[in-house]
Structure 1
Amino acid sequence: MNLVTLRNLSFITICQLIVFYPVKEFKFQMQWDDYWVVINEYTDRGFTLRNFELILSNYYHGQYAPINELYYILIKTFYGYDATYFHIVGVFIHTINAILVYVFILHFCKFILQLGFVRCANIAFFTALVFSIHPLNLEPVAWIAASKILLYSTFYLLALICYIRFLKTKGYIFYFLTLVFFIVSFGAKEQAVTFPACALLIDYMANRNLKTPQIWKEKVPMIILSILFGLVTIQSQGISSGDFDHYSLIERFALSFFTFAEYIAKTIIPIRLSYIYPFPFLPGESIPFWMWLYPFGFIISITLIGKSIIKKKWLLFGLSFFVIHIVLTLNIIGMSRHSIIADRYAYLSIIGIVFIFTYSFYEYVGFKKHLFHSSIAYIYISFLAIYTYNHLAVWENSKNLKTEISDEIKRRLDYDKLIKKYEEK
């Protein structure tokens, strides 16, 4: 590790620890998922062969996340049900993820984009820094029951790094490690099924001919695993307690574009973040006219800038990375949820958008030549850090979170209908 990398990673770690320092005092969210996701029969039984078999073979409340359950058992074995240690370990995992983001972007820029080391290090530094302190990413850090996001991202990023190493060295040990980390990532959260698509994106960025049989031979194990994982996910969801909503296909079509735009908007300007974002209309109601502006705007945008995106590899990569890792949460597929978006689901995907802004800043502005623009960048980063630090208080305990949810719902014009809906559910 050279001095530049050591300096960058040290700064990222220090900033992140300062921002998330209050988390160590937080409690379990006993009125939410912590009481059954974390504190349950599996965690109680600890490390036994029979418990391990049950964790691997059973679905729990419509979920299959054995790696996440083993994570809870490990912490409980050493520290008991002390929320402080669960939170401290969560911050540690988030720190590891920020470091992995740095390494991933560094390798991507050096090997795929063929950029110089200094430029690669700067792009990787600011991408990882924003990732580490971004308000959208505080939810899986502050909420113990959302640790699946942290763990799946750790092994997913390790798989991506190993895959780039495989392309660079042709060493099949890295290909084997890619598959192993991919499997473990799914064991933490089902969103890992997108990995084959991301691997193909890296192939394309590396100018590999996607028509070459060798590429698809490499992808066959990944695709088979992804299909199997998808079937496991469908089966686990099938035995859950029922869908929260029953939106029609056309309603989901409108909701998907709205959801996509919301994730992008909150990645760029993260304000009024909340645990819950109520659906803009209830199932069976008329779709608000303004919602059709989103698909129309998407079509216009693709028509105007589609060719420019394809020509600029860095822009295509960032947007594609974002889409690949957010597509499963766009409400295209019916899922049991109370919120149209969730901050935690953007945890990995925001890397794509942040990478675009960081790369374009260095490409067209730069820090040393334009003091005014660099000042704006530092002010923006400071805003993210301060917002995250202040917004953490919402997750301190169940009372704070309940108050925040209540306030968010009361701000809605259709407050009475929403209250009735949530009471029924």
Structure 2
Amino acid sequence: AAMKNLSVEAMSNRATPVWKIAGLCILLASLVWLVFGQTLGHQFVNLDDESYVYANPVVSQGLTAQAIGWASTHIVSHNWHPLTTISHMVDCQLFDLKPAGHHFTNVMLHTIAAILLLIVLHQMTGALWRSAFVAAIFAIHPLRVESVAWIAERKDVLSAVFFMLTIGAYVQFVRRPTFLRYLILSIFFALGLMSKPMLVTVPFVLLLLDYWPLRRFQTARSTISKLLLEKIPLLILAAPVAAVTVVIQRHGINSVENLSPPWRIGNAFVSLLIYIRQMLWPFDLAVFYPHSGDQLPLWQIAISSALFIAITAAVFVVRKQRPYFLSGWLWYVSMLAPVIGIIQVGSQAHADRYTYLPQIGLYLAATWGMADFSLRWPNGRLILRISAGFVLGLSMWRAWNQASFWRDSQSLWNHALTATDDNDLAHERLASALLDKDRPDEAIVQAQLAINLKADNASAQNDFGVALARRGQPEEAITHFWKALEADPNLSRLHYNIANVLVAKGDAAQATLHYQKQLEIDPNFAEAHNNFATLLLREGDLDQATDHLAKALQLKPNYAEARNNLAVALSQKGGFWQRLL
């Protein structure tokens, strides 16, 4: 009797040998590692990896009780996702700051998510090969690369594991509703929310699964009101997370914050269709796509809006004959809703990573639709198998190629410049990567290109200043630093860079003000504490100098320069024998 709620198709689960499912899981894992195994040889990249991992003094010191408390109460890069932050701490504990280990965790989590997707789809539908294809295309589509190859996108792959576990627990609850099963479902959902708040729309996705493939809408006992009431505890879990995220991210809204709602809605419709185009034609993918602002062509908005309305109407019209079209399409739209840009965070028009879980809905609709239509064709099954093999082969090739661009920052941004136009962020980040390799002349070229596209790009002005300072041109460097300061007074490391140049010029008083301002903005910046202490030592303020050096070593215990400076400071204070270094 408990099975009546489940799809009729799912009854065939019992007939599927375990060895066949296990074999497909192994094959799926092999596909993932063939595509993404290369990332174990990749480096960190200079977009968010620093704030999430290697330049985050709390995270990089590994897992402690104090660090777990910090993760629960602090915002990292405009996100509250304590479980993701803790997972980065675990990696630092296990692998230190060796990127291979961090990449390994990302690929493992993605592998687990893909295997769980296969299992839960098979549980719900009983259609093993269709479920396997959906899981495979999810696993190795080129749009997945950003979520898997980018260490800072740990939140995608970690939340995906809990998302799949939530669906699996929900299927078990539907089979036999008990308090314990609902509690397990709620725990998985809560863990998912703590990995990435984008999962707030999961209760709606579960309602779609009730429609198809679980077909709970068709049973007399299961009225819609009962199904809605069933989701209320999950909505109660999601509501505060959604509210906190909106408040946090309002502070993270970037240069398009003044864009009027009609333009944001227009970009949302265009993005919905762009993701479909990228799904079908995965070429020219990039880590960053510049936002067109109010320059987005009206014809694009008009066509995208019309197509959206037409598709929505069409899936509704055929819902009785083809329920998977309605369920899959609304899965896609609802899961994209939190990141579609109505509330704009950052200056991107759209992003590959946003398709990670939403596009499963489209894979479901397309796979079930093509499989059903193929039954009408002569040799339909053969054509379908050949087509599926071709699609997976093409995806693997494109995904492997796309993942190769993530090997380091320079490669990543060079590719972004090839794949996009007028990308000031890509020029600026490439300039920063070149500075990291001590190539100031090339960095100046890229910084200038970024400034040509966007004169108030504070980071580009800052890069330009750093490059000039390295070339021994402090006066010219200061000019660019002032321009950066005008564009963004709170830019990371800007006051630190200004202070360093002022020290070189002999202006200790002004340098002191800028070191203080830098440490006010970022009190956990070890290098700023060290350099300020060096200036204080020169000025004879030994007490303040030792305080700042102690703080630098607390933040970076292996910071050799700060350790040496502290030895000098304590020696000058007459406390040399007290050093416990």
**Does the CA contact (< 8 Å) of 1:106 and 1:124 recur in 2?**
yes
Contact 1:94/1:132 (<8 A) preserved: yes
Match of 1:249 in 2: 261
Structure 2: where are the runs of 5+ without partners? 1-16, 424-448, 460-581
Larger Rg computed on CA atoms: 2
1:177 is aligned, of 184, 189, 194, to 184
Q: Which residue of 1 aligns with 2:62?
A: 46
1:164 Cα offset (Å): 1.2
Structure-2 separation of matches of 1:136 and 1:375: 22
1:354 aligned residue: 363
Does the aligned pair in 2 maintain the 1:204–1:210 contact within 8 Å? no
What SS does the corresponding residue of 2:216 show, helix, strand or coil? coil
Q: Name which of 95, 98, 114 aligns with 2:111.
A: 95
CA–CA distance in 1 between the matches of 2:353 and 2:120? 21
Counterparts of 1:379-418 in structure 2 under 5 Å? 379-410=390-421
Note if contact 2:312-2:329 (Cα within 8 Å) is conserved in structure 1: no
Counterpart AA for 1:5? I
User: What is residue 52 of structure 2 aligned with on the other side?
Assistant: 37
* Match for residue 258 of structure 1 among 261, 270, 286: 270
Q: 1:216 to 1:373 in 2, by over 3 A?
A: closer
Q: How far off its partner does 1:422 sit?
A: 7.3
Query: Is the partner of 1:348 in helix, strand or coil?
Result: coil
User: Which residues of 2 match residues 193-212 of structure 1 at below 5 A?
Assistant: 193-205=200-212, 206-208=215-217, 211=223
TM-score, normalization: structure 2?
0.66
- 1:293, distance to aligned residue in structure 2 (A): 1.6
Q: Please, which of 100, 123, 126 is the counterpart of residue 107 of structure 1?
A: 123
Aligned equivalents of 1:188, 1:331: Cα separation in 2? 20
1:424 Cα offset (Å): 4.8
- Amino acid paired to 2:139: S
Unmatched runs of 5 consecutive residues or more in structure 1: 111-119
Inter-partner Cα distance in structure 2 for 1:156 and 1:396:
28
Query: Among residues 349, 371, 384, which one is paired with 2:382 in the alignment?
Result: 371
Task: Give 1:116's aligned residue.
Answer: none
Aligned to 1:272: 284
Query: 1-side partners of 2:296 and 2:382: how far apart?
Result: 50
The corresponding residue for 2:534 is: none
Aligned-residue CA RMSD (Å): 2.4
* Contact 2:315–2:325 (Cα < 8 Å) also in 1: no
Task: State the partner residue of 2:131.
Answer: 124
- 1:304 is displaced (CA, Å) by 5.0
Question: Quick check: 1:5 aligned with 2:14?
Answer: no
Measure, in 2, the Cα distance between the counterparts of 1:330 and 1:105: 26
Question: How far, CA to CA, are the matches of 1:303 and 1:6 in structure 2?
Answer: 39
In structure 2, what is the Cα distance between the partners aligned to 1:48 and 1:312?
52
CA distance in 1, matches of 2:253, 2:226: 44
> Where do 1:61-72 residues align within 5 Å?
61-72=77-88
TM alignment of 1:190-339, pairs within 5 A:
190-205=197-212, 206-208=215-217, 211=223, 214-240=226-252, 242=254, 244-279=256-291, 281-283=292-294, 285=295, 287-304=297-314, 306-309=316-319, 311-335=321-345, 337-339=346-348
What amino acid is the match of 2:354?
Answer: Y
**1:283-341 deviation digits (Å, cap 9, x = unpaired):** 4x475334312112333444455301454212222112211211222212222x22211
8 Å CA contact retained: 2:284, 2:420? no
Q: What is the CA-CA distance between 1:370 and the residue it aligns to? A: 4.4
Secondary structure of 1:188 counterpart: coil
Once the two structures are superposed, residues 130-162 of structure 1 have per-residue CA deviations (whole angstroms, 9 ceiling, x without a partner) of 111111011111110011000111101101110
Partner of 1:117: none
- What CA deviation, in whole Å up to 9, does each residue of 1:106-135 have, x standing for no partner? 11213xxxxxxxxx1111111111111111
Letter of the structure 1 residue corresponding to residue 360 of structure 2:
I
Deviation at 1:48, TM superposition (A): 2.4
Which residue does the alignment assign to 1:168? 175
Structure 1 residue 273, shift from structure 2 partner: 1.0
